[in-house]
């Protein structure tokens, strides 16, 4: 059984099974989501949830529950940060309370679950963990799955936003010049070879490529702490203050989660490339280097 440090943001399937059998079980949030590039024609995330999920888990729709509508005033990009009051009401409807632990999970690699983890932490919840390896790890451990929907719940969580740091587009430009700005997208998107969804191909000038796919192994579990620390320190984290962006602020949260596992702090640029590339006044780099 994998055992994590007490302060780790991750929890194993076996540890979660024990926690659910305790007198103070965590609230479970199922955040399965079809990210860019998912194969067409397959079941939706909601259909996968209805077919089987962890007992008691509430389904969280990322586009609806973990983001404001695109183009919301003052919130740029495809997945703007949600209005805190709306987010708080949504989380309370799932039973989230200030004094009760929360565990979030998705299909396997935690790319979407990390968004829920980051948002809850940003909004002030102090006890949020990610199921390492997600639903796949739970199934592999032979733990119970159900298609029964959980009963309605009502928590008391009230967001106090700003508990994790963020940076806007102007700040990201400064970070790329004076600190370390990591681009969490694939190398192909960073280099401008492809761009499946945003207005322009390329990257923020000065940003360093660091695909989130390298944070996890083939089974979707995070790589060991020492490997993650070596990876990020090799990119300059630890020596320079670090910020992260991706396509729309979702997988960048995964990068921040991996950095926290490695003991390295980082700041999120929520608007990310979807915001940056929609502004014709901002420069775009199309190379295999930061410049």
Cα gap 193→272, rounded to integer Å: 18
Decide if 252 is catalytic: no
Judge contact between 28 and 144, C-beta under 8 A: no
Cα gap 180→168, rounded to integer Å: 15
Name the catalytic one among 11, 201, 246, 266. 246
Judge contact between 226 and 262, C-beta under 8 A: no
| Neighbour count for residue 40 (Cβ, 10 Å) | 5
| Neighbour count for residue 245 (Cβ, 10 Å) | 33
> Angle at CA 268, nearest 5°, toward 173 and 222?
125
- At a CB cut-off of 8 Å and minimum separation 6, what does 99 contact? none
> Angle at CA 19, nearest 5°, toward 15 and 22?
145
Q: How many helices and strands, by DSSP H and E, does the chain display?
A: 11, 9
Active site residues: 246
């Amino acid at each position: 059984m994998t055992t994590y440090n007490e302060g780790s943001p991750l929890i194993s399937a076996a540890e979660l099974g024990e926690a659910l059998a305790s007198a103070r079980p965590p609230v479970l949030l199922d955040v399965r989501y079809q990210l860019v590039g998912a194969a067409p024609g397959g079941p939706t995330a909601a259909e996968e949830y209805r077919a089987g999920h962890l007992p008691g888990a509430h389904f969280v729709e990322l586009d609806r529950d973990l983001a404001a509508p695109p183009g919301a005033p003052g919130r740029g990009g495809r997945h703007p940060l949600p209005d805190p009051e709306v987010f708080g009401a949504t989380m309370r409807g799932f039973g989230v309370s200030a004094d009760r632990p929360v565990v979030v999970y998705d299909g396997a690699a935690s790319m979407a679950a990390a968004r829920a983890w980051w948002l809850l932490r940003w909004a002030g919840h102090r006890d949020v963990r990610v199921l390492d390896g997600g639903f796949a790890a739970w199934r592999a451990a032979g733990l119970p799955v159900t298609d029964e929907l959980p009963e309605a719940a009502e928590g008391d969580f009230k967001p106090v936003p700003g508990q994790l740091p963020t940076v806007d587009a102007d700040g990201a430009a400064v970070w790329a010049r004076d600190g370390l700005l990591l681009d969490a997208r694939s190398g192909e998107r960073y280099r401008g070879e492809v761009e499946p969804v945003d207005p322009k191909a390329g990257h923020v000038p000065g940003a360093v490529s660091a695909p989130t796919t390298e944070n996890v192994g083939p089974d979707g579990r995070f790589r060991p702490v020492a490997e993650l620390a070596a990876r990020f320190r090799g990119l300059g984290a630890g020596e320079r203050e670090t910020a992260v962006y991706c396509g729309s602020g979702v997988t960048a949260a995964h990068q921040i989660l991996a950095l926290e596992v490695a003991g390295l702090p980082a700041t999120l640029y929520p608007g990310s490339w979807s915001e940056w590339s929609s502004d014709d006044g901002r420069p775009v780099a199309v190379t295999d280097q930061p410049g």
